[in-house]
Amino acid sequence: MKTLLIPIILTVTSLFVIAEEKPKLQKIELSAVGNPPGTMKFAKTEIKATTGSKIELTFKNPDVLQHNILILKPGTKDKVGALADAMLTDPDAMKKNYVPKSSDIIAASKLVNPGGTEKIVFTIKESGDYPIICTFPGHWRLMNGILKITKSE
C-alpha cells in the first residue's frame, strides 16, 4: 500500500506545482533625465519587451520637476497629448495626475515627485510600437519614447 501512495502523492504534488506556475514577469526600468535639470526627456527613447507576459515598468524621476508615464496604443501619441493639453483648464487635473480619460491609455502612473519612483504593471498581447509619454503640462512633446513589443518565442 505504501508503494502505491508514493507515486500518487508525487503526481498530485506536481499537478499543484504546474497549476501555480505564474506567467513570466518582465522587469523594465525607465528614468527621466535629471541632468541638466528640467530637460523633460526620458533617459532612453526606446525600451523593449515581449508579448503576453506581465511587464513591470519602474519609472525613476531624478529630475527637479514632477513627471508621470503613460503607455499608449500605437499611433495615439498626438491624440492623447492633445487631451493632456486640454487638461490645463480642468481644475481637478492635478488630482487626476494629469492623466486624461482615454481608451487609448494602456497604463499610467501617478505623478512622481522629484527623487521618486513609481511602478506600473500591465500586459500587451500584440507586437508593435507603443508610445510612452509624460502628460504633465507641456511635457509630452519632448518627453516621449517607444515601448517596442515583439512576439515572445
Q: For residue range 115-124, list pLDDT tens digits in order.
A: 999 999 999 9
Domain contains 13 = no
Type of residue numbered 144: N
CA 97 vs CA 7, 13, 48: distances in Å: 56, 46, 25
In a domain, 8, yes or no: no
19 belongs to a structural domain: no
In a domain, 100, yes or no: yes
Residue 1 belongs to a domain: no
Within a domain: 122: yes
Residues with Cβ within 8 Å of 78's Cβ and at least 6 positions away in sequence, in order, are none
Domain coverage including residue 55: 24-150
Q: CA 52 to CA 54: how far, in whole Å?
A: 7
Total domains, the chain: 1
41-58 pLDDT, tens digit per residue, is: 999 999 999 999 899 999
Any idea what the CATH number is for the domain that residue 38 is in? Answer: 2.60.40.420
Q: Supply the pTM of this predicted model.
A: 0.84
